[in-house]
Amino acid sequence: MSTSAGVTRSTPRRWWALGLIAAAQFMVIMDTSIIGVALPEIRADLGFTPQTLSWVFNAYVVAFGGLLLLGGRLSDLFGARRIFSAGWIVLLVGSVLAGAANGVGLELTGRAVQGVGAALIAPSALTLLMMLFGSEPKELTKALALYGAAAPAGGTAGVFLGGVITEYASWPWVFYLNVPIAIAVLLATPALMPAAAARRGSVDLVGALTATGGIGAAVYAIVRAPEAGWASAETLLVGLAAIALLVAFVVVQARRSEPLMRLAIFRAPNLAAANVAQLLLGAAWVPMWFFLNLYLQQVLGLSAFPSGSALLPMTTFIMLGMIVAAPRFIARFGPKRTLVTGMTVLTAGLAALSLVRSDGSFWVDVLPASLIAAAGMSLAFIPSLGIALSSARPEEGGLASGIVNTSYQIGSALGLAAMTAVAAAAGADQLGDAGALTGGYSAAFLGAAAVAAVGAILAAVTVRIAKPATTKETADALK
């Protein structure tokens, strides 16, 4: 493992480096949620229509999801630390553009640039984590747990900070908040992060364009479909374009000597299975989080900030589960059993949420079921992520990181779009009718439970059982 001066496996400094890596995960997720409370003011100040306002969120997601593979490849070629720093610079620039925007075009440009920065940060951060901790199962499990816990923390912090900033300052500061954090990370990175020499190789520009275009078009079609219609000409044409571009990407990768994504990487045991698990986790969890927010606000009558507060118990439970429970479950039962158990518990939690009532309460209808779902997510996320990253060759850590991040983001977009359609068909488009809204949200929770159940079954069938010796060694290390 290559390390920079002063960053060795025996020094505690690498735990400070993990803090920066967790901060990256925290910020990438926070930037998807912090704008929620600020959207009404952004619409009023910049002239967004109700139809275009959603693209303040979507511009970030499309750029992020579409460029993750390229970010992973660049991390492998030029060194994860360089790309990590470059990503923070790009995120800083995008944040300034989004905060200073005086019109729709500049705002969406800033959000897209933020997404580009996130697409560079996310895979390089995971590669750095593997460089620092990958050789020691005990430390890797702990590091992945802390990294994983940063995601729900970022999501909830975004809701809180968005409400506080919008109420006591102004909406541009939801973007300017990134600037001092980015500067601090950039100053600390050279001293804390391991360095790796640049490798000889070329960037597959055709592959990058087809992959980015295909993924971007797919995400665009998915997030637009509930508004434009699943059978509309726009949705069908963009969907066909996405399929054509992704097919072209596979053909290009099969023929190039230095492809953006070596297709044979999926021959690695468990890599494809772990990525399917991550995709289905995103497809089940993100719709649950989205519609739970709507239920709290539109049925139980909570405003945005108390609604965010209501998610604190669930978020705290996830973080404790990832940091405390998941490593012990993995040590005792192995990653496969922990993953399958987590997906099964998540299914139960989502099914319980589908029983919400129009005259319900947070304490009865939300809290118990959300804690069950949180327990399942915390048990499933860490082993699926660890299996995916450890299945790839060390020199392809950036690619594996890009693939697993892409899987989760695309799963999130697919799941949210599909459950939005399910909810609307079941009555969630009837604003003001608490009974109809509850029926729609209940259908979405039930659909998400079905997705999680499929994930549990597929994980049980496709993930190979870890060697007993490996599990025992890990257990011994955690004692």
SS (H, E, C) 40-105: HHHHHHHCCCHHHHCHHHHHHHHHHHHHHHHHHHHHHHHCHHHHHHHHHHHHHHHHHHHHHCCCHH
pLDDT in tens, 278-325: 999 989 998 888 788 778 878 998 876 777 678 888 888 888 888 889
Confidence of residue 4 (pLDDT cuts 50, 70, 90): very low
* 257 vs 446, higher pLDDT: 446
pLDDT in tens, 35-84: 766 777 888 899 887 557 767 877 887 788 778 878 888 888 888 899 99
Residue 33 has pLDDT above 80, yes or no: no
How would you label 274-287 residue by residue, b for 16+ Cβ within 10 Å and e otherwise? bbbbbbbbbbbbbb
Task: Give pLDDT, residue 465.
Answer: 64
Confidence of residue 259 (pLDDT cuts 50, 70, 90): confident
* Average pLDDT of the chain to the nearest whole number: 83
Q: Which of 249, 306, 191 is nearest to 69 (CA)?
A: 249
Task: Give pLDDT, residue 1.
Answer: 38
Both tokens of residue 448? 């998400």
Cβ atoms < 10 Å from Cβ of 464: 11
Task: Give pLDDT, residue 262.
Answer: 77
Task: Give pLDDT, residue 251.
Answer: 92
pLDDT in tens, 319-370: 888 888 988 999 899 999 999 999 999 999 999 999 999 999 999 999 999 9
Longest dimension (CA), the chain: 63
Residues 377, 364: Cα–Cα separation, whole Å: 21
* 219 vs 360, higher pLDDT: 360
Share above pLDDT 90 across residues of the chain, in percent, rounded to a whole number: 33
Task: Give pLDDT, residue 363.
Answer: 94
pLDDT in tens, 127-143: 888 888 877 777 887 88
Residue 475 has pLDDT above 50, yes or no: no
Task: Give pLDDT, residue 30.
Answer: 82
Residues 221, 163: Cα–Cα separation, whole Å: 30
- The DSSP annotation for 188-206 comes to HHHHHSPP-PPPP----HH
pTM over 0.85: no
8 A C-beta contact, residue 339 and residue 452: no
Confidence of residue 373 (pLDDT cuts 50, 70, 90): very high
Q: Give, for 440, the enclosing helix (H) or strand (E).
A: helix 434-462
pLDDT in tens, 147-186: 877 877 777 677 777 777 877 788 899 899 999 999 999 9
Residue 238 has pLDDT above 60, yes or no: yes
Task: Give pLDDT, residue 304.
Answer: 62
Q: Which of 290, 278, 362, 248 is nearest to 57 (CA)?
A: 290
Which DSSP letter does residue 298 get? Answer: I
Task: Give pLDDT, residue 469.
Answer: 41
Residues 340, 221: Cα–Cα separation, whole Å: 31
8 A C-beta contact, residue 279 and residue 411: yes
Which DSSP letter does residue 1 get? Answer: -
How would you label 400-412 residue by residue, b for 16+ Cβ within 10 Å and e otherwise? bbbbbbbbbbbbb
Residue 126 has pLDDT above 60, yes or no: yes
Confidence of residue 96 (pLDDT cuts 50, 70, 90): very high
Cβ atoms < 10 Å from Cβ of 370: 25
Task: Give pLDDT, residue 248.
Answer: 93
Task: Give pLDDT, residue 8.
Answer: 44
Residues 73, 69: Cα–Cα separation, whole Å: 6
Residue 199 has pLDDT above 80, yes or no: no
The dihedral over CA atoms of 211, 213, 216, 217, expressed in degrees to the nearest 10, equals: -120
Task: Give pLDDT, residue 376.
Answer: 96
User: Which SS3 state, helix, strand or coil, does residue 275 take?
Assistant: helix
pLDDT in tens, 423-474: 888 888 787 788 998 999 999 999 999 999 999 999 999 988 655 444 444 4
